[in-house]
Amino acid sequence: MIKVIIFDFGGVYLSDSFIDFVNKAHKVLGVNKNFFSDKEVIFDVEFNKGEITIEECLKKYFKCKINKEQMKKIINLWTRSWKLSGEMKKLVIKLKENYRLAVLSNSDALNSLNYTKRGWYKYFNVLILSHELGIVKPQKEIYEIAVKKLKVEPEECLFIDDQRDCLKPARKMGMATILFKSVSQLKKELQERNIKFL
């Protein structure tokens, strides 16, 4: 029986595309380059582990000189690249009536602070954030920490993520999983699993 629903944050609870951020940043830098696939724009693991700053990460990622003005613009793009859809918010509020909710996300200190200020974490009972732990998905340790923090068995958890690789360790542990594609698809799969939200 499912007692806890665990959400990835960016790409599931929050919408927009990392590709979009990278392509906009390229324009700021005057780089004539566009990406079309998420696989082309994997971000920095050290950044998600909280080991380097946003400035260090961007210099390393874009592999070019970034002046102060450009850096300011790109950081502004980064903090504004994710948006909360009203439909997803309503779904989470409904799920909260019957289940404990958690976030398990590859994160960074800057955006997490913004999400806290905007109240985007407030519907979740537990936050498992990579930059605070120094561990990222799909490392199995972060899933073990999630179960321990939530004080449940893996079989009592449903984990929702938009990346297949991040679902594999959860499934291996015994969690139920859903690969997120859209809010309507998520609702359909939740209904199929008899998860109450209506």
User: What are the residues facing 160 on neighbouring strands?
Assistant: 7, 178
Q: Is residue 136 part of a domain?
A: yes
Q: Is residue 39 part of a domain?
A: yes
Q: Is residue 183 part of a domain?
A: yes
Q: Is residue 197 part of a domain?
A: no
Burial class from Cβ neighbours inside 10 Å (0-12, 13-18, 19+) for residue 65 reads exposed
The H-or-E segment that residue 152 falls in is: none
- Phi-psi region at 194: left, alpha or beta (left = phi > 0; alpha = psi -120 to 50): left
Determine the pLDDT at residue 42: 55
- C-alpha 34/C-alpha 19 separation (Å) is 8
Say whether both 131 and 159 belong to one domain: yes
> Is 89 strand, coil or helix?
helix
Task: Please report, for the domain that includes residue 107, its CATH number.
Answer: 3.40.50.1000
Domains in the chain, number: 2
Average pLDDT per run of 10 along the chain, which is 198 residues long? 96 85 91 65 80 92 92 94 92 98 96 95 97 96 98 98 95 98 97 95
Determine the pLDDT at residue 117: 95
Determine the pLDDT at residue 43: 66
Q: Is residue 65 part of a domain?
A: yes
Say whether both 188 and 92 belong to one domain: yes
Say whether both 73 and 127 belong to one domain: no
- C-alpha 27/C-alpha 164 separation (Å) is 30
Range of the domain at 74: 18-79
Say whether both 10 and 37 belong to one domain: no
Say whether both 59 and 108 belong to one domain: no
Of the three residues 79, 106, 121, the one that is the final residue of a domain is 79
Largest CA distance in the chain: 53
